[in-house]
Amino acid sequence: VVTAAHALSVADAAARRRSIRQYSAEPVPRADLEEILRVATLAPSAFNLQPWRFAIVESLELKAALSAAANHQKQVASAPAVIVLYTDTADAVARAEDVVRPDLPAERRARALASIAKHFANRSAEEREAWGYAQGYIALGYLLLAAESLGYQTSPMLGFDAEAVTRALQLPAHVRVPALVAIGRGVEEGVPHHRHRLARVARFT
């Protein structure tokens, strides 16, 4: 396991991270995957509802199904693991008691639960899942940085057929799939960052 003592800082991980589409076959140890996911799940979310879910795909059979669903993008077959990041807002809202802090006084817990219920009461299933999507991308950002920080490379993907992915993993039809993430030890450099200058995207007013 890569310990925190050897981990890169957030700034260093962001600077070094690039989308990597070619990997060595070396599997990612379960403990490292768990550590990366543990860090990703420290991401914040509205109401602390944490609607993100992760399916870690390592079997050749399931990877083949994901590869077909992802237009045969080479990183899917090349990486030793592919993380399917999906969101299930229905489940997150139904289990809201799990995420309201247990140490709060009963009255404040009840108020927090009531405000969650009120927020979602008149939302369509589509709106709930769109909301979950937004939270999922926060976890995606954390995940990409956590992986790099712990010495692994990644490739986030949106180029896939979500229905084919949910079918392959036998997920409920209402979940959303913000991204697939190929992960492993990269064997290519990737493309140097080419970003907008800060002044193009940020304005101090």
Residues 94-153 that bind ligand FMN (CB under 6 A): none
Q: Which of 19, 22, 41, 48 binds ligand FMN (CB under 6 A)?
A: 19
Parallel/antiparallel/unpaired status of strands 153-157 and 52-57: unpaired
Query: Rounded CA gap, 160 and 73, in Å?
Result: 9
Pattern 48-87, binding to ligand FMN, x per CB under 6 A? -------------------------x--------------
The minimum distance between CB 157 and ligand FMN, in angstroms, equals 4
190 binds ligand FMN (CB under 6 A): yes
Cβ-proximal residues to 173 (8 Å cutoff; 6+ apart), any chain: 166
Helix (H) or strand (E) holding 55: strand 52-57
Which tokens belong to 57? 């795909």
Query: Rounded CA gap, 78 and 118, in Å?
Result: 45
Residue whose CB is less far from ligand FMN, 16 or 119: 16
The minimum distance between CB 190 and ligand FMN, in angstroms, equals 5
The gap between the terminal CA atoms of the chain, to the nearest Å, is: 45
Binding positions for ligand FMN, rule: CB under 6 A = 18-19, 73, 156-159, 179, 190-191, 193
